Structure 1
Amino acid sequence: MSRFDALPPLVLVLVAVLLILGSTLAFLGAVGLIRLQSFYQRLHAPTLGTTLGVTLIAMASALLFSFLGGRVVLHELVIVVLVVATTPATLITLGRAALRRDRTKEDPTLPPVQRAHFTPPRD
């Protein structure tokens, strides 16, 4: 008899659903990374897949080990916070670096730079 036999069936089903959804989202992010054409399009798929996929998988882990241990397990919350905080920041940094590189190469496919027009107030 394993420790999982003592768990309620509803908890096992919920953990399984969260794991399947999380791994599916992470897989779709990986497929998007391979299938999309440009660098800028490739940035979005793994970012969304990673953030949502890791969040769902961590929720499944926290739920399972909370029921197995008889206490609330929140270690996974640290993982989720770090992934949710760093993944979008990395996306923005990579996107800006690529845009700067392409602008210095004067890539004709990029839209023109839009500058804000500042008009000083009149006295």
Structure 2
Amino acid sequence: MDLIAEILISFFLVVAGIFGFVGSYGLLKLRDTMQRLHAPTKATTVGVGGVLIASMLYFLLIDGHVSFHELMITIFLFLTAPISANFIAKTFLIEKRDEVDIPGTQCDFGWSISDDPPNVKDAPQE
């Protein structure tokens, strides 16, 4: 049983290390924000998540008790990484408001933030 547990824990650590390395490499080598956005989110969710899952498995299978701290951190990371990636993408799209700079959506409506905002001068004064 200990050999199987050690192999399983080692597997999660190796996978987490590979994803952490690939995510770091992608963050350095990719050109713009929208391309760079994918690398760190995968490194966070799979890389750090793999280390936390390996730690939870170690405490469960080797020490014999459940580590709720690591479970809560893992859930927090899995919930917040997509939200932070969405915020970064929205910020990028708002910053690059020209239609030429924003990639196409292959939809009839396009990006909702690429529409021109209402003119502040035309707003009624209080």
Give the shorter-chain TM-score range: 0.7 to 0.9
Alignment of 1:15-26 (within 5 A): 15-26=9-20
Q: Is the 8 A contact 1:26 1:54 kept in 2?
A: yes
Q: Describe the shift of the 1:78–1:37 C-alpha distance in structure 2 as closer, same or farther (beyond 3 A).
A: same
Q: In the alignment, which of 43, 48, 53 is matched to residue 49 of structure 1?
A: 43
**Shift in Å, 1:114:** 2.5
Alignment of 1:1-123 (within 5 A): 8-103=2-97, 106=98, 108-111=100-103, 114=110
**Shift in Å, 1:18:** 0.8
Q: Counterparts of 1:72 and 1:114 in 2: how far apart (Å)?
A: 48
Structure 1 unmatched ranges of 5 or more: 1-6, 117-123
**TM-score where L is the length of structure 1:** 0.77
Q: Counterparts of 2:8 and 2:110 in 1: how far apart (Å)?
A: 49
Q: Describe the shift of the 1:111–1:9 C-alpha distance in structure 2 as closer, same or farther (beyond 3 A).
A: closer
**Shift in Å, 1:71:** 2.0
**TM-score where L is the length of structure 2:** 0.75
Q: Is the 8 A contact 2:5 2:62 kept in 1?
A: no
The percent of aligned pairs where both chains have the same amino acid is 31
Structure 2 unmatched ranges of 5 or more: 113-126
Q: Is the 8 A contact 1:62 1:75 kept in 2?
A: no
1:14 partner SS: helix
Q: Counterparts of 1:48 and 1:25 in 2: how far apart (Å)?
A: 7
Please give the root-mean-square deviation of Cα atoms over the aligned residues, in Å: 2.1
Aligned residues: 108
